[in-house]
Amino acid sequence: MGKYFGTDGARGVANKELTCELAFKLGQAAGIFLGKTVVVGKDTRLSGDMLQAAVAAGITSVGSTVLDADIVPTPAVALLVRELSADGGIVISASHNPPEYNGIKFFDNQGFKLPDAVENEIEAFIDAGGATSEQLPNGDEVGIVIPVQDATEIYIQHAVNAVQSQGVSFEGLTIAFDAGHGASCGTTPEALTRLGAQVIAINDDFTGTDINVECGSTNLGPLHQLMQETGADFGIAHDGDADRVMLIASDGTEIDGDIVETVCAIDMKRRGVLAKDTVVSTVMCNMGLRKAMAREGIAVERTAVGDRYVLERMREGGFVIGGEQSGHMILLDHNSTGDGLMTACQFIAACVRNGWSSVEAAALMERFPQVLHNVRVADRDAYEGNEACQAVVAAETEALGDEGQILVRKSGTEPLIRVMVEASSLEQAEAIATRIADVIAAELA
């Protein structure tokens, strides 16, 4: 991670850590490093207007044009970059983070996130003060802002076409949906309805201060309640920018990214479209995913945590599906980044095609007990050099042996140290995670 860029763009509390000045310089960088036309979209956060104005001012100040997509999911911007033949894209969103946060992330002209080397160049550009006087045009050479009138329609129809081209319909299905007061409010319900489903939606409006608050993919409680009230066949929840999805089966089983990847991969192999019979996941993936894939003759490649690393390995190896337990799923046959709507559609399509109910699909992977503790700390960078923290992790790892795994890492976007423990029983995993978290809290909080 760099000075400004974390695992998923520049992110922080809006107007405090992520300032308009920084947003302006990032906008200038987009015009200079990406090109003459930049698609800009945002989620529903109150600070989105402020930061979008600053980003747009930066882009236009160096003579580039803003294609304004307004409020759209992050994957819509990646798609629009390609559909509109733009030179790049920017999304103003803090994804699953609380409302006071915001972020700025970049896409290249193919809708892919920027490599570390380019982000490093952008950081150096910002530290040098942004654009030079020679890079600032005047008169009729300054940039302009052009609204993209049909931005959401392009994205919705892309997802619909992907399912219909497979000869699948969602007729007869009832789908419960939680938009999390985010960018999917106007896209996912419409796409699912066009595919034939009856959609019952909650949290599909927004105030700008309610995004991700006790709802959406980060809090499945409201969706569980809706499922119980409606008897829906599937439940779907997005995070704020809808680049991820979590699902719920009709019996209340939570379907995370590992299960989604399992179901989609098995279906893709049966259809002969799983490139090299391989999937990509991260070191956080559940042991159940690895066992389910081995049973089906599918290889699993594991990367560092972060969808950018999953995508990097997919592109290197020529693989077409990769994902994270958190619900990020990249289906390169359909989009260049995590796409919550496309993932949900392909998961449900796999169920329909194979005659699986949501409960039967969830049972294709046995989830091994896994515990995640998020420890809030004063300085997340202090973890690696703290002897007590390193010692407790080493001791617990040695004691656990081959019966599970321990992964401790700092959050890329928040002042947190994440402690993940997988073991043969939930009690054992919880005990280990608690011992490690207690030490980290005592040393770093």
Contact 200, 193 (CB under 8 A): no
Contact 420, 436 (CB under 8 A): no
Report the b/e string of 203-237 with b at 16+ CB within 10 A.
Answer: bbebeeebbbbebbbbbbebbbebbeeeebbbbbb
The residue behind tokens 């019979």 is: 277
User: Which residue out of 47, 64, 93, 95 is catalytically annotated?
Assistant: 95
Sheet containing strand 370-376, strands side by side: 370-376, 416-422, 405-410
Q: Please, what's the largest Cα pairwise distance for the chain?
A: 69
Report the b/e string of 11-41 with b at 16+ CB within 10 A.
Answer: bbebeeebbbebbbbbbbbbbbbbeebbbbb
Contact 30, 36 (CB under 8 A): no
Contact 205, 185 (CB under 8 A): yes
Known catalytic membership, residue 61: no
Rounded Cα–Cα distance for residues 189 and 76 (Å): 15
Report the b/e string of 383-420 with b at 16+ CB within 10 A.
Answer: beebeebeebbeebbeebeeebbbbbbbbbbbebbbbb
Contact 245, 260 (CB under 8 A): yes
Q: What separation in angstroms does the CA of 196 have from each of 140, 178, 186, 360?
A: 49, 18, 17, 22
Rounded Cα–Cα distance for residues 205 and 208 (Å): 9
Give the angle 386-408-124 at the CA atoms, nearest 5°.
75
Please identify every residue annotated as catalytic. Answer: 95
